[in-house]
């Protein structure tokens, strides 16, 4: 994840010199196996059925790249989602409502996906969506940037 976050930032840096560039990449794991985007309703049902009662770990690579001097900071954030025991009826109803076919793990936490969980574990809820803002703000602070600083 860190390598891909860096590569994404470096690709943008080719066009954007003298900028701070944010790169991020995320992978979801269930029992050591990567959960991809399901793309079909059948695969989404299979994924959520497998996740039922288990823990899914989201690993997010984060890069803050300074294209003015080719320096960068890399971090990895891990966020764990503990799924409730889900019935097939709950899963199919959720998929019909949210249509999470383009989402790794077959859910959207920013919508009804939160109803699938019994516990969330991690430092920053935003990392579950794909951008760990607490870590990003710490990186930006090392560059003298803070949303709380007066101009």
What are the catalytic residues? 25
- Per this entry, what is the length of the chain? 151
Tell me the three state secondary structure of residue 82.
strand
What does the alpha-carbon distance between residue 54 and residue 144 come to, in Å, rounded to a whole number? 41
Task: Quote the tokens at residue 97.
Answer: 């409502």
The torsion angles phi and psi of 51, rounded to 5 degrees, stand at: -75, -25
What does the alpha-carbon distance between residue 87 and residue 96 come to, in Å, rounded to a whole number? 14
* Residue whose pair of structure tokens reads 């891909």 in the numeric block: 4
Beta strand residue intervals within 67-149, DSSP E: 71-83, 117-121
Question: Could you give the angle at the alpha carbon of 134 between the alpha carbons of 101 and 64, nearest 5°?
Answer: 85
Task: Quote the tokens at residue 143.
Answer: 């560059």
């Amino acid at each position: 994840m860190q390598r891909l976050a860096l590569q994404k930032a470096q690709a943008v840096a080719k066009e954007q010199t003298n900028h701070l560039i944010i790169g991020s990449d995320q992978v979801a794991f269930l029992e050591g196996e990567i959960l991809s985007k399901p793309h079909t309703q059948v695969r989404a049902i299979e994924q959520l059925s497998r996740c039922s009662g288990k823990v899914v770990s989201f690993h997010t690579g984060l890069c803050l790249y300074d294209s003015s001097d080719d320096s960068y900071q890399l971090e990895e954030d891990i966020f764990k989602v503990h799924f409730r025991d889900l019935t097939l009826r709950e899963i199919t109803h959720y998929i019909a409502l949210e249509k999470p076919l383009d989402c790794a793990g077959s859910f959207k936490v920013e919508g009804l996906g939160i109803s699938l969980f019994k516990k969330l574990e991690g430092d920053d809820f935003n990392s579950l969506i794909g951008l760990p803002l607490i870590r990003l703000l710490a990186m930006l602070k090392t560059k003298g940037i803070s949303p709380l600083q007066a101009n």
